[in-house]
Structure 1
């Protein structure tokens, strides 16, 4: 199977495999279809939206499914792990919640860092544009002075 590029595309793959209509997904999660169309399909999914999806579709919280959903590593496993004894299942459930929290915290930290980096670059670009505009104005003044002097010399 080819790697699916974005979390949103992996969510659609999950829905297809489960036979869940997109409209049902939008209704159950309270999300707008516009977040999953066109260019928005390639954009990142917010941590709050991802958390909502994991609440509505708890099978995605299973360790291997969560790793697949967030990183695209591994494969989606839709087979239920029924038959395990209850204490082991509870420990795995707690472990999964802890890992989910860690993954979401790391994801949020990465987005936060990227946002700060983008803001820094935008500020640098603005400063460079301002200096460029000032240099062009100064250059135009010099050209006007040269033309004025050239006209005086020509007379």
Structure 2
């Protein structure tokens, strides 16, 4: 039996996933423009459930021997980082009041640096510390350097 995903992507799951992410992104943009917070929360929840399903799928593929450990670990670390970022946004005011603004931003900065370095290390390990792995890890660190700089400026104020 020929499924729709087989027709679109030859049986692969990546293209339908990209299409779903694009649709969710467009719906999120529409919800932000219209100010519909209920739709935004629904889309966010759906996106996190989708990401969790992907992480579980990656680990299943790893244990079946079809995926490397570093790929599954990278997606897991990214998922944990996104969840932690959302929790910091949601409970940030309480934590700022409890710990102080400077301490909160420094903790946020330390967590961001730790996640970036962990992902860079996983990329290097997956590339067996080859030149391409070093280049990808370096570019990743440069991309996230702006977020680190912004958090550092906030922590100094």
- With normalisation by structure 2, the TM-score equals 0.33
Quick check: which one's helix share is greater?
2
Greater C-alpha Rg: 1
